[in-house]
Structures are given as C-alpha cells and as structure tokens.
Amino acid sequence: MKMTGNTILITGGGSGIGAALAQRFAALGNEVIIAGRREAALQKTCAGHPNMHFMVLDASNPQAIDKFAHELVQAYPKLNVLINNAGIMRFEDLSKKRDLHDAEETVETNLLGPIRLTNALVEHLEHQPDAVIINVTSGLAFVPLVSTPTYNATKAAIHSYTDSLREALKGKVEVLELAPPAVQTGLTPGQEKLEGYMPLKDFIDEVMTLLAKTPTPREILVKNVEPLRFAERNGQYDETLAHLNDFVARQRGNK
C-alpha cells in the first residue's frame, strides 16, 4: 500500500481505531475523509488537521449509503482508498429468548454496511491508481467471545467476504484485512480503561508499520492478535477459547 498521496475514506472515523488511523494517515500527507453517525465526534477528530474532512453517514441505512457514495465521489474524485471500519459490539445472552434488535442492528452495521459501501464504490475504485480496500474485522472472527455472538459472526463473515473480494479484484484493487485484538477504545462501555487490552497508540503504531511493508501483508495482524488468528491452525482452539472468555469476564468484573 502506498502510504502517502492518497485520498482515503474511513468509516467509523469519529473515535477509536478509525479516528486514530485517520489522523496518522493525514499526518503522512494523505487527504482523509472520515464518516460516521455523530457529527460532533467527526468535527472533533478533524480539528487541527486541514487535510481531514468529514461526512455524516449511517452505515446501517442502504439508501443513505448510495446517496453518500454519489456525493463522496463528486466531492473527492481522486478517492482511491476505502477503509471499512465502522462497527458496533453488543452483549447478548444466547441462553434465553430475547429481543433481537441488537443482533439485527449489528448485522446491518458490521456486515451489510461494508458490503453495501464497497458495492457502491467498487467501480470507481477500480479505475483509480494505487486503489486499496481495507476491511476491519477482529480477532473474534477466529475465536469467539461468547457474550458478543453476533459481533463475532459478522466479523467472521467479513473475513470470508474479504477473501472473495481480494480474488475478484486481483490486479485492480489491493484488498487487505485488518484484524485487531482487544484494544482500549470506546467500542463497548468502559473498554478504554480495561487492563490487558492493547493501548490504542501501540496498536496504531504497529498497524502503520505493517501497512508500510513491501509487499503489504494481505492480513494486517499485530502480535497481540496472532494467538486468536492462528489458534485453530496451532491446535490450540479450545484452550484459547476458554482463556479468552475467562480473561474478558475477569476484566469486566464478571468473575
């Protein structure tokens, strides 16, 4: 991936990983557009960065995505990088019948959102130099956190979708997957302060180093996520599953 001179769209750019990536890419000389639901958060992320811009987008709304994509390309015709980062994580109890609103909203945002936005922009990106699509998944795509089942499932689905997209766009658009471990962000309440979660700055430092490699790895995996990504390959799936769920329960005071 070329690290400077791009025009980059990052969804979910108002906070957390999306905001940190946006500011790092802007500092390298890229023009960066961030998108998300909360205008105030987007404005705050862009403040002090003249080459950063924002557009409001609800990634769970298919009509809004089509309109957004049209307006985006009109305003930024040199757009050549799409980072599908927007996502939500909800806790669910699978042991009892429940309202499925959280599960359905998670599928709309985490799975259908990236698919719809990629679909809306793919023909534009195919004709841009140095075009890249980065889909943000999760270590939980490979070993699940039992209390966030739909989140895990959407990330596993995006992992598979990314593999297909990479083959379909071979020679036209570089397709990468970024799979974070547990990072100190506001993805869930109180997560910014949980011990044992990777500090956001350390995560972004390692990610930017990996993205700058030649050739860029097709999966961007910081060291902290490797135990999850390779648990099954290494014959450690059951052990890793138990350790992961025990660790998170202890961090959140559930044990």
- The closest of 155, 204, 148, 209 to 177, measured between CA atoms, is 155
What residues are labeled active site? 151
> Taking the chain, what is the end-to-end CA distance rounded to the nearest angstrom?
43
Measured CA angle at 186 (ends 105, 20), to 5 deg: 110
